[in-house]
Amino acid sequence: MLLNPLITLITDFGTQDGYVGAMKGYLLQACPSVRLVDISHEIEPQNIQQAAWCLVRSAPLFPPDTIHIIVVDPSVGSSRPPILLKTLTQWFIAPDNGIFSELVKRYPPELIYQLHRKTAWWQAHQSFDGLALFSPAAACLANGIPLDKLGIKTHAITALAGSKPQHAPHQLIGKIILFDRFGNALTNISADDLVNLPTKARQVSCQNYLFPLCSHYAEGQDSGLLALINSDGMLELSVYCQSAQQQCNLQVGNSVIVQF
């Protein structure tokens, strides 16, 4: 049994409907000494990519033995397996739908278990596995139930379909993969991609807009548009104090071209 277990929650449930409250109520009854931390309940509905980035930004900063429950699950009720994964000396419980894609790129798993759909403590549900399966699995883990009673070892998990930037003459061509709540566009172009260019990057373009490369947001005050390497180590397109998504009518999948 973990001493004063810490369990975090990432969902796309919001807070108005009581779904998060139901999960918390269950966890507090099943494991009275638990500490609960809300990382986010504002993931866009069914946005697995956004959940994957939310997880990889936050999890590395938590202490050992933290248990993370991530429930963004468009295929709830289907045959998609539930997963228990250990890395960073922490535990992660989520549907196997690509949520772990960014995490395992950076932190290779130490253990992966496919959770049973039915045990003495839970049974999978057609619409609310957050309460019916993932919360009980986290409580069992915190309470010291042996792993072999929770699931079976596996070695493979689902990864989101990814793509790397493509090289063309004097260009690096990437794309927008998601937006944050400020309307900043996160791309699939990393700081390393820019460092490895044969010559220094001169400008970034997307949808006929030019985004000057800047070192911080305030550098973009004059032009309004700017591109920078964000805290994820990825190239981001922004509009100073406004939404690049709205101001430039950007969409996920738009090409982003770095000229060098």
**3-class SS of residue 187:** strand
> Mean pLDDT, to the nearest integer, of 167-179?
94
Say what the pLDDT of residue 205 is.
Answer: 96
Q: Give the closest residue to 23 by CA, choosing from 69, 63, 62.
A: 69
CATH topology assigned to domain 6-153:
Rossmann fold (3.40.50)
Check residue 99 and give its pLDDT. Answer: 97
pLDDT over 90 at 260, yes or no: no
Q: What is the pLDDT of residue 174?
A: 96
Q: What is the pLDDT of residues 191-224, one digit of tens each?
A: 999 988 888 887 899 999 999 999 999 988 887 9
For residue 55, pLDDT beyond 80: yes
Query: What are the tens digits of pLDDT across the range 25-43?
Result: 999 999 999 999 999 999 9
Give the pair of three-digit tokens for residue 126.
């057609």
The CATH code belonging to domain 166-259 is 2.40.30.90
Locate 170 and state its tokens. 């004097």
pLDDT beyond 80 at 167: yes
pLDDT score at 146: 97
Q: For 107-208, list the strands marked E by DSSP.
A: 111-115, 151-153, 166-168, 171-179, 185-190, 203-206
Average pLDDT over residues 64-74: 97
Predicted local distance difference test score (pLDDT) of residue 221: 84
The label of the residue with tokens 């792993």 reads: 147
Instruction: Using alpha carbons only, give the angle 25, 112, 12 rounded to the nearest 5 degrees.
Output: 40
AA letter at 162: G
- Which pLDDT belongs to residue 108? 96
Report pLDDT digits (tens) over 113-165: 999 999 999 999 999 999 999 999 999 999 999 999 999 999 989 999 878 89
Question: How does pLDDT run across 235-256, given as a tens digit for each residue?
Answer: 999 999 999 999 999 999 999 9
Given this model, what pLDDT does residue 254 score?
A: 97
Give the span between the Cα atoms of 20 and 128, in whole angstroms. Answer: 11
Backbone dihedral region of 135: left (phi > 0), alpha (psi from -120 to 50 degrees) or beta?
alpha
Domain boundaries, the chain: 6-153, 166-259
- Tell me the mean pLDDT in the region 4-26: 97
What does the pLDDT read at residue 163? 80
